[in-house]
Structure 1
Amino acid sequence: MPFKKLHPQLQELLAEQEIDTPTPLQRKAIPVIKSGANVYCTAPAASGKTTTMLLTTLHELNCEAVGEAPRAIVLVENKEKALELYDTFLRYTRHTSLRVYVGYERLHVDIQKSEIFMGIDILISTPKALNKLLLANGMAVSEVKIFSVDDAEFLTKRDVFAAMLSITQRIKKSQYVLYTEEMHPMLKRFKTHFMEFSKTVKV
């Protein structure tokens, strides 16, 4: 079972929540994501996509803080979803040393730069906010190991699509995982950019 091969702290957390059986998506996706491949995870609502992203991100970071630069990035559509996901991450990281930070458009880039400089492990942001931060040289990305997009349908908007390409051009090496309900043609176009040799998990 996928959960049995996750970090022990994650297994304990799942046990506390009485979650002992992975969803069909988690059963298929967790081993593929753990392999290090770029992955498109396509599944309907309430299939466990966000939890899959949380578990694989924390497992990849070994549930502990390291260094100062972010090692995981999670993109979401807007401020509301960023703050909601931030709260969810805090529930999963409360017994770890991991540092989670949330950024969004209305938060001034200089504030984000100064707070990120203090040291973070996981950054949750929107595409436009992250792109602005990177264009301002506000964050090092050399340590990024895993880059996830939650509910990636919003990347099909042309301005957001362009921001995503700009972001990924600045990240030299990372694993990318896109979670979506349906595989939109514009999402497939990422295969010629940063989703090379990607695998697809669909339920």
Structure 2
Amino acid sequence: MLVLPMPFKKLHPQIKEKLEDFEITTPTPFQIKSIPVIKSGANIYCTAPENSGKTTTLILTTLNKLKCEEVGTAPRALVLVKDNQTALELYDAFYKYTRSTTLRVYFGDEKQHIELLKSEIFEGIDILISTPKVASKLLLLEGLNTTQLKIFSIDDADFLTRTASSADIMAITQSIHKCQFVIYSEKMHPTLKRFESYFMQYAKTVAL
């Protein structure tokens, strides 16, 4: 059996099996720095150039946080991305890791009627992937229960500096009482830094 290096060695056994299946044996420098810090449970800004392994880190640490198993009906992980196509691509990436687990990953497709999304989410999911707009609308219509969230991530958050999505982010985070927040971006922008005054209190920074 292949012996995985740190920090992969301390991940959930089912995640390690998938890494071996995909022949991902060597963590990137960013993953070496970020995975242990994310596993600590702190709020974190993760900044690194493109192709540093940020999205894979997001997937691995989210699955590890949820212990690769379904629990209850309310989502325990929320992942926000810049647009609908990116959400679909991330859903597909997650599914490669979760199809042999009981975890329920859900794509909040903005092309679907919001009432359909509400009813499907109500049946029970563990991970919701969507745009800030869809998540905010679900919350407003009482279609998103945030009481069980353990980890809230924003992938490639640089888009928040170019769109009006920050207002949606603020609305969503104000409904969350206790959760880990992880923001991934290529650079630290003033827009992202301002979140420290709201939901990113005492945030650590992992930069490459």
Instruction: With the length of structure 1 as denominator, give the TM-score of the two structures.
Output: 0.98
CA distance in 1, matches of 2:184, 2:164: 19
- Displacement of 1:158 after TM fit? 5.2
Establish whether residue 201 from structure 1 lines up as the match of residue 206 from structure 2. Answer: yes
Does structure 2 conserve the Cα–Cα contact (< 8 Å) formed by 1:64 and 1:96? Answer: yes
Match of 1:125? 130
- Specify the code of the residue in structure 1 equivalent to 2:129: I
Give the gaps of 5 or more residues in structure 2.
1-5
CA distance in 2, matches of 1:192, 1:107: 34
CA distance in 2, matches of 1:158, 1:9: 37
CA distance in 1, matches of 2:58, 2:157: 12
Match of 2:11? 6
Match of 2:3? none
Establish whether residue 25 from structure 1 lines up as the match of residue 11 from structure 2. Answer: no
CA distance in 1, matches of 2:90, 2:163: 24
Using the aligned pairs only, state the percent identity: 62
Does structure 2 conserve the Cα–Cα contact (< 8 Å) formed by 1:53 and 1:148? Answer: yes
Match of 2:59? 54
The Cα RMSD (Å) is 0.8
Match of 1:159? 164
- 3-state secondary structure, aligned to 1:69: coil
Alignment of 1:177-196 (within 5 A): 177-196=182-201
Give the gaps of 5 or more residues in structure 1.
none
The number of equivalent residue pairs is 203
Q: Render the CA deviation track for 1:38-69: whole Å, top value 9, x for unaligned.
A: 00000000000000000000000000001100
CA distance in 1, matches of 2:194, 2:145: 26
Does structure 2 conserve the Cα–Cα contact (< 8 Å) formed by 1:78 and 1:104? Answer: no
Instruction: With the length of structure 2 as denominator, give the TM-score of the two structures.
Output: 0.96
CA distance in 1, matches of 2:121, 2:110: 15
CA distance in 2, matches of 1:85, 1:158: 20
Does structure 1 conserve the Cα–Cα contact (< 8 Å) formed by 2:44 and 2:182? Answer: yes
Does structure 1 conserve the Cα–Cα contact (< 8 Å) formed by 2:135 and 2:144? Answer: no
Establish whether residue 36 from structure 1 lines up as the match of residue 63 from structure 2. Answer: no
